[in-house]
Structure 1
Amino acid sequence: MGGGVTRALLPGWKPGSGHDAGVRIGGDLIGRRVALRFRIGERDGRPLYRDAVGELSADGDELVVSTRKGPVRAARTAVVAVRAVPPAVPRRAPLAAVTRLEELCADAWPAVVDRPLGGWRLRAAGGYTGRANSALAVGDPGMPVAAALDVLRGFAVEHAIPARVQAPIGSPWDAAVAREGWVLDSGHEAGAEVSVMVADLAALPRRPGPVVEVPERPSAQWWGLGGDGEPSPAKRHVLDPGGSPRTAFLLARGADGEPVGRLRATAVADHLHLSVLDVLPTERRKGLATTLVGVAADWGGAAAARWAVLQVALHNTGARALYGRLGFVEHHRYRYLVPPS
């Protein structure tokens, strides 16, 4: 099945009550990978259909199928058939592309200490986030992996952080560290396995919304929206690099002028790294996240970025569905490995 036009239903489809009535989509299909067929018009008096395969989500009166080429939207009333299908066989991005993207993301999330060890980066930031307190393993450390892990253990003791490796899943370094007995950091609260998602910056939706300020330094209100109070010096260093790399701290205000949402956007080479997306609970499901991302995309485009990238934990299915609706697709995954207990 592809994105082409067809004129006949296939065996195994769940049919609707008529071409114009649509089908009833059960809640058990939302969040699953489906094959969905919907009507797009007619030719010579005969209905025309389009097929889409991907993860299904709902957006008001529309259904959204996050395909490998981006989101496909269909009015609920246009859907004539739908069925669950097995998960797709993941397509692995070239190792060179994974390495470059991991390096750019690390540059956009700068640790307080970032010490090279061959092709590894030993990072520490007072314990604030796994990304800034781990060894990014995306190359040859210049010594046997067992010796490199010993160096990492010493670095972790020096900076009072856990010994942890961040490695792209399926990479040679992920396999090499696992062979040394290191295991998944299942106790990592933010998520031990992470999806790195990308999108064409120009294709991201722009949605009108509330006033969004785009300063390049965070205000007290920007910090306060996260509910964490005054940031620690390490957190401030990671999120507010002070101009290099260039970073914007988007703040959306409601009708009363009070902050209702925020987003951090960092321009690194030809990519715009998005992070810290927060929307007040009372303002969710109103399109504010889409507005913030669209404004960030315009800012990033002016800063010579062509692509957007973000990192989201696999267990955060709600956020992954949101980004899928916006047009993000998975590029690769990484995981955290720690010494066995």
Structure 2
Amino acid sequence: MPAHLLGPHVVGQRVVVRRLLPGRTGPTGGPAFTDLLGVCLSWGDGVAVIEPASGEPVEVPISLIVSGKPVPPRPSVRGRVSARAAELHTAALVRGVETTVLGDWQLRHEPAPVGRVRSRFNSCLAMGDPGLPAAAALDDVTAFYTARGRTPQVQVEADADVEAAVRSLGWAPVPGKDALFLLASLAQVRRRLPPMAEQPRADIDGVYLSVRTPAAHGEAGLDGDWLGLHGLVVEPEHRRKGLARAVIAALLDAGAEHGATTAWLHVETDNAPAIALYESLGFVEHHRCRYYTAPQAD
């Protein structure tokens, strides 16, 4: 065992160790060994304590460890969901979004948008298999949105096979719409937010949450145990006062009270200040997405 790989410095890390089983014989007639994977809780006084993913912590005499090394943490369950599965939570953000399926694709339409027409609620989520050749599927998308007076758009996972097919058929990327899908453990984000003497109150209406103050506002939508944040705005003259964090904290607390454990959001890739804020709170990139519009008819 290389001495630098294991020792007191691995306490708190996920490790794998191979240990000797005294008095037992292995399959080839030599000494018997077994591997143990888990988090190292302590290392000292001749004993390492390893906590496996299930079961009680195991005390391992350090003298019996013949090899071992730290291993990367296992990706969280939320991090292992597909881009499509993650994006399907978008439908819970606002009222009145109609959805129609096209194989794995989902056509989304907001008949009565409040304010501007937002792409995420008025585009086809083109992830997965539409059950048709790409050209035929995109023809259906074009017909669907044209009939509803909307610009035909698709949302694709960046650099996926669907994006290559869409681009090859003449669809053009929408400038300034590239976005990151960020997600995090709700509890982890809440722990990183400082205590607040005057936290605003979140209003809850079914699965829709909102916080509104004269200086800042934000909204969220519950879908199972996923809480999607959106519409976070702080008035320019009130920025850099911690108001964004206060709104986020209020939405997270209200979401947690209703069973949310995962927080997520979209942020455009050119919004560096917002990305820095969310990353400081523990959000990580799950995937990137882009929007494409249909080619103009001659």
Question: Alignment partner for residue 311 of structure 1, among 253, 258, 266?
Answer: 266
Alignment match, 2:281: 326
CA RMSD in angstroms, aligned pairs only: 2.3
2:193 to 189, 193, 206: 206
Q: Which residue pairs with 1:249 in the alignment?
A: 210
1:179-328 equivalent positions in 2, closer than 5 A: 179-186=168-175, 191-204=176-189, 205-207=192-194, 208-217=196-205, 243=206, 246-252=207-213, 259-328=214-283
Deviation at 1:249, TM superposition (A): 0.8
Q: State the Cα deviation string for residues 119-146 of structure 1 (Å, max 9, x = none).
A: 1111222561011111111221121111
What residue ranges of structure 2 are gaps of 5+ in the alignment?
1-7, 10-72, 74-78
Note if 1:114 corresponds to 2:103.
Answer: no
Among 76, 91, 100, which residue is 2:85 paired with?
A: 100
Q: Secondary structure at the match of 1:263?
A: strand
SS in structure 1 at match of 2:249: helix
SS at 1:143 equivalent: coil
Q: Say which SS state the counterpart of residue 105 (structure 1) adopts.
A: helix
- Note closer, same or farther for the CA distance 1:335–1:328 as it changes in structure 2 (3 Å cut): same
Bigger Rg, structure 1 or 2: 2
Q: Which residue of 1 aligns with 2:122?
A: 133
Contact 2:94 2:208 in 1 (8 A): no
Tell me which of 153, 176, 180 is aligned to 1:164. Answer: 153
In the alignment, the residues of structure 2 paired with residue 136 and residue 183 of structure 1 have an alpha-carbon distance, to the nearest angstrom, of: 16
CA contact (8 A) 2:199 2:247 kept: no
Deviations 1:308-335 (A, max 9, x none): 1000111111111111122211111000
Identity %: 34
Counterpart code for 1:125 = E
Query: How big is the shift at 1:211?
Result: 4.3
Cα distance change, pair 267–113 in 1 and its aligned pair in 2 (3 A): closer
Native 8 Å contact 2:182 2:284 kept in 1: yes
**Partners of 1:139 and 1:106 in 2: CA distance:** 17
Q: 1:182 to 1:111 in 2, by over 3 A?
A: farther
Corresponding residue pairs, total: 215
Long gaps (5+) in structure 1: 6-68, 70-92, 218-242, 253-258
Per the alignment, residue 11 of structure 1 pairs with none
Q: Stretches of 4+ moved more than 3 A in 1?
A: 109-112
Letter of the 2:204 counterpart: E
Query: Of 109, 123, 133, which residue of structure 2 is paired with 1:144?
Result: 133
Report the TM-score, using the length of structure 2 for normalisation: 0.66
Partner Cα separation in structure 2 for residue 296 and residue 251 of structure 1: 11
What's the TM-score once normalised by structure 1's chain length? 0.58
